[in-house]
A and B are shown apart, each in its own frame.
Chain A
Amino acid sequence: MAWWKYVSSRKIFWPLVALAVLMAFNLFFTPKFFRIEVKEGHLYGNVIDIIKNSAPIMLLAIGLTLVIATKGIDISVGSIVAISAGVVAMLLGGDLLGVPKYPIWIAMGTAILVSVLAGMWNGMLVSRIGMQPIIATLILSVAGRGIAMVTTNALIVWLYIKPFRIYGQGYLLGLPFSLYIIAVLLILTALVTRRTALGLFIEAVGINPTAARFAGINAKNIIFGVYAFSGFCAGISGLIVCSTVMSADGNNAGAGYELSAILAVVLGGTSLNGGKFYLLGSMVGALIVQTLTTTIYAFGVPPEIAQVVIALVVLVISLLQSGKFRTMIAGFFGKRELAI
């Protein structure tokens, strides 16, 4: 049983099990779920949709993983998505012939810059003023939607600029373009946090900020940094959201995304109590969240009960993740050695 102990003690194991169970359900009960065709020169199928549609949540989850590792939380990311989408849409302009008002790179750069500033604002409130993270980011969560509305004049801005489509709808080598954006950001984040001491610092701050400070870690700057980074991730996410539907809707863009992203991080094995974080786990978590949504659509669950179904599945997955619960179940069946 040594191999089992090794495999099941990996943090990524249980999120993968949950994802596999969801996929297995579809394999048996949703016809044609796994069929992949080639259309218009790219891969086409439900699985591709899951990857493509989970991109915005994955990006948010990368930033949130680090925030949650410091025992913080950022519930403003959904609003930052709307701000970023609004800024880029206003700078590109809704010209019917597809002529951008400002060059695309300036529009995108400005949107990301504004998002980083929003993240820095959160970071300042939490690290310098010492506000509780949920309150600090709640402020921007509410105000941010207002800012997004002001940016777009409370109208939905439609874009007709072809080159901008690639970020949310484009494909490279048959795969969604957004996948490559995530891969680059994920690899960079993993390198910076795992190949340097930064990751250890973040975890130290999350476990015990006072001890971390006495150990010579500048906890304030670390906390400030992770919120700014979360804003950065939300900014990129906003660009993809805007490009996916080629429009910016201050009211609805990114609405509720913060909760999906937090769920993704938690399902991925990072505890809300801070400390150890698992970037890859968060990505699997985001895939679980999106697979669940796509399954609801593809299987044809009536909208009246869809939310209840989602809640039940999330509950089961969360229980599956909990070591304590698994020990309890294993104890119940008298197989204690299976417990972790």
Chain B
Amino acid sequence: MKNWKKVLVLLVAVMVIFSVSAVAAPKQWVVGFSQIGSESEWRTADTKSVQDAFAGDPTFVLIYSDAQQKQENQIKALRTFIARKVDCIVFTALVETGYGPVLQEAKKAKIPVIMIDRDVQEADRALRLTIMGSDFVKEGEKAGTWLADYLKKQSMDDGKTPIDIVELQGTTGSAPAIDRKTGFANIMKQHANWQLTRSQTGNFTTSEGKAVMEAFLKADPKIQVLYAHNDGMALGAIQAIKEAGLQPGKDIIVIGVDGVKGAFQAIVAGEQNVTVECSPLLGPQAVQAVSDLRDGKKLPGRIWTIEGIFDASNAAAALPTRQY
């Protein structure tokens, strides 16, 4: 037994030496990336984007770790990064709380931490360098502004006649659902005649989006606008609208968020009117930020994702380049 222990200790020692030398030998910057898992295709595209972007730059080495939706896995991964003395840590927080101690450790080891997409809680934000990601409130506002412009162009809104809007919310309590609702409501406040007749959760899924829209259509026959917190629900709702004998995109204006490929195809087919992009392709911007950091530049406390808005005027042209 004792011999085995010795062998084990030796083995670990050899591994540590190797890993340290592997980090120390080249002049490359080693970046540790801890992803939360692969719970949606948005996340899959996000992971791939970061991996591809760092792989495309030979001055970087990316160590990837998948937490598989468990915080303890993620904290373990972050500790491994610190022990390996990586040059920079990039990570997406699975939940907001509980990262304080490990971020302290990173700070003590003088390893800068850049958050992607999901932030840590307020109290721990001083411990990380910056956060890059989408502004969900702004996405809701963009959707509302687009609608105001569209109604004006079609001269459907005289400022007095009520406009009936229904909303398909994302998962109850999730940040994107709360913020996208808030953003849209901000614009609604400027239009007294816009009325939100129904609002229900579709859990960000196509099948629930469809089922909820079916019930909406029966309860309220004069729905004019559908605002869905993601494209998946919008695409489900489109099928419900068709089954009701109405034309999605014409009889009912359909607004989605995310900019997935399916939504682009629906816009080209004239069944969805617009999608507000929420891009998972954070890789190039992450590489840019880490490069800036290496060059000694100061990073802003918040880096917004570059995102567009796509409707009938530009969707067809953009469709072939969509990656998710």
Contacts and interface: CB of A to CB of B under 8 A. Distances in A.
Interface of A: 30-33, 35, 39-40, 44-46, 49, 53, 96, 149, 154-156, 158, 169, 241, 244-247, 249, 251-253, 255, 293-294, 296-298, 300, 302-304, 306
Contacts of B227: none
A249 B44 contact: no
Contact of B39 (A40, A251, A303): A251
Contacts of B172: 303-304
21 contacts: A31-B219, A39-B245, A40-B245, A49-B215, A154-B38, A155-B41, A156-B206, A156-B232, A158-B265, A241-B207, A245-B235, A247-B235, A251-B41, A252-B205, A252-B206, A293-B211, A297-B200, A297-B216, A298-B218, A302-B199, A303-B199
A57 to B, nearest CB: 12
Contact of A252 (B169, B207, B219): B207
Contacts of B169: 303
Q: What are the 4 closest A-B residue pairs judged by CB atoms, nearest first?
A: A297-B215, A303-B201, A39-B245, A245-B206
Contact of A49 (B41, B201, B218): B218
A294 B212 CA distance: 8
Contact of B44 (A35, A154, A246, A293): A154
B15 interface: no
Contact of B206 (A96, A249, A255): A249
A156 B211 contact: no
Contacts of B204: 252
Interface stretch (B236-244, B272-280, B305-313): B236-244
Interface string B244-270: 110000000000000011100100000
Contact of A156 (B203, B215, B243, B260): B260
Contacts of B260: 156
A258 B219 CA distance: 29
B40 interface: yes
B244 A39 contact: yes
A251 B301 CA distance: 33
B211 A297 contact: yes
A32 B216 CA distance: 12
A242 B134 CA distance: 31
Contacts, number: 92
Given A156-B232, A303-B200, A35 B218 contact: yes
Contacts of A246: 239
B151 to A, nearest CB: 25
Given A31-B219, A45-B218, A149 B210 contact: no
Contact of B219 (A158, A247, A249, A300): A300
Given A247-B235, A296-B200, 16 more contacts: A39-B244, A40-B243, A46-B218, A96-B265, A149-B38, A158-B261, A169-B239, A169-B243, A245-B236, A246-B239, A247-B206, A252-B207, A297-B200, A297-B214, A303-B169, A303-B172
Contacts of B107: none
A53 to B, nearest CB: 6
Contacts of B212: 297
B198 interface: yes
Nearest to B240: A49
A246 B41 CA distance: 17
Contacts of A156: 41, 206, 232, 260, 262
A96 B268 CA distance: 12
Interface in B19-72: 38-41, 44
A46 B38 contact: no
A46 B203 CA distance: 21
Task: Kindly name the residue among B40, B207, B216 whose own CB sees the greatest number of chain A CB atoms within 10 A.
Answer: B207
B207 A245 contact: yes
A32 B214 contact: no
Contacts of A294: 211, 215
Interface string B214-236: 11101100000000000010011
B201 A306 contact: yes
